[in-house]
Amino acid sequence: MHEQPEHVSDTEVLATVRAHWSAEVDAVTHLPMGSGGHHWQATSRGAPRLFVTLDRLGARHDATSLEGAYAGAAALAFAVDAVVAGLPTLAGRYTVPLADGALSVTPWVWGERAGDGPPATRADAEATARTLRRLHAARPAAGVPAWAQLVPASFASDLAEQLAPTWSTGPMAAPAQDLLRAHVTDVEAWTERYHTLAATARDRAWVATHGEPHSRNQLRSLTGRLLLVDWESLRVAPPERDLRILVDAGHADLVDADPLMLELFDLEWRLDEIDQLAARFAPAHTGDRDDVEALTALRFALTRPGAAYDT
């Protein structure tokens, strides 16, 4: 999300933050970062105070489930001190409607992103494993959403139907469509296997999971501690939804993971990426920096080798 959103202005964001969280905030600045939502730095007299996020509502979240995820993260923060949770509004909620989404805020925490996906060091992997053990042992709040399959069993046939007419919606339409058409058969096989594995997940233990605890969602604080951010993805699910991050990075010895569930969530990541990126290029788009990065991500999702988990 490098580009400023067209549907929401900085003025609207500032007014919402001042009305629901802090009247001391006097400015917001859009931050060119992230991939799932838009972000702003909120300041008071030039000093950073809040990190502001606008999540879109749709297939992944409605207003109730997003509120449940952020409120659930705030509850988990009492048991897991690595959680950077949202701040409640003056009314006690964690989200406020804005445009086609919902706004939330966390405290501004000084630090730097811990990496670009995998743990940067063995020590970081060990710290992440400790945090996940504490998270998975904590009791989730009642409103935390339960995990469900992100793509339907008809995903491959739906995609083939979407690809039937020639896309001429922007500069990335043709290359994106060519990539997708070349891999429809693969998508069909991945989807069938994904739903087979999802059926077996019902018999596993389910816990509170972050969903994306990779180093891009970790902040290294000024004291060197790793903090876990971006909790919209919080779900009650099999623990392998989180543990896959460590296994794929070569740290399987740090976790006790079911290979079938690891495969399930590896397939989910791939299919969800394909679904979201196809939806990006089928409509009109401009070919901006976000689109260029999205085309690279689509190519990777379609062509990367499948992970091999010992069974």
Whether the predicted model's global pTM rises above the 0.85 cut: yes
Q: What is the pLDDT of residue 306?
A: 80
Q: Tell me, what amino acid is at 301?
A: A
Tens-place pLDDT, residues 206-221: 999 999 999 999 999 9
Report residue 308's pLDDT band, with 50, 70 and 90 as the boundaries.
confident
* Residue-level pLDDT at 33: 83
Q: Are 266 and 305 in contact (CB under 8 A)?
A: no
Distance of CA 303 to the CA centre of its chain: 21
Please state the rounded mean pLDDT for residues 260-277.
96
Report yes or no: 120 and 265 within 8 Å, Cβ to Cβ: no
What is the structure's pLDDT at 2?
A: 63
Confidence of residue 188 (pLDDT cuts 50, 70, 90): very high
Enclosing H/E stretch for 218: strand 218-221
**253, 258, 261, 267: CA torsion to nearest 10:** 40
DSSP class of residue 46? T
Q: Is the pLDDT of residue 311 over 60?
A: no
| Alpha helices (H) along the chain | 10-20, 63-76, 122-137, 155-163, 173-182, 184-201, 240-248, 259-281, 289-303
- Looking only at the bridges linking them, the beta strands covering 101-107 and 47-56 are antiparallel
Q: What is the Cβ-side half-sphere exposure of residue 14, based on CA atoms within 13 angstroms?
A: 12
Spans of all domains in the chain: 10-108, 155-224+233-303
Tell me what the mean pLDDT of segment 244-250 comes to: 96
Least reliable range by pLDDT among 4-8, 18-22, 298-302: 4-8
pLDDT score at 14: 98
Out of 13-22, 35-44, 100-109, 269-278, pick the least confident. 35-44
pLDDT band of 309, cuts 50, 70, 90: confident
Kindly write down the DSSP assignment for every residue of 142-174, as one continuous string: TTSPBP--SS-TTHHHHHHHHHSSPP-SSTTHH
Average pLDDT, the chain: 94
Give dist(CA 269, CA 264) in Å, integer. Answer: 9
Q: Could you tell me the fold of the domain covering 10-108?
A: Phosphorylase Kinase; domain 1 (3.30.200)
pLDDT (tens digit per residue) in 33-91? 867 789 999 999 999 999 999 999 987 889 999 999 999 999 999 999 999 999 999 99
Percent of the chain beyond pLDDT 90?
89
* Mean pLDDT, residues 253-264: 97
* Residue 305 in this model has a pLDDT that exceeds 90: no
Q: What is the mean pLDDT of residues 90-107?
A: 96
Is residue 56 within a helix (H) or strand (E), and if so which, with residue range? strand 47-56
Alpha helix segments (H runs only) across 119-258: 122-137, 155-163, 173-182, 184-201, 240-248
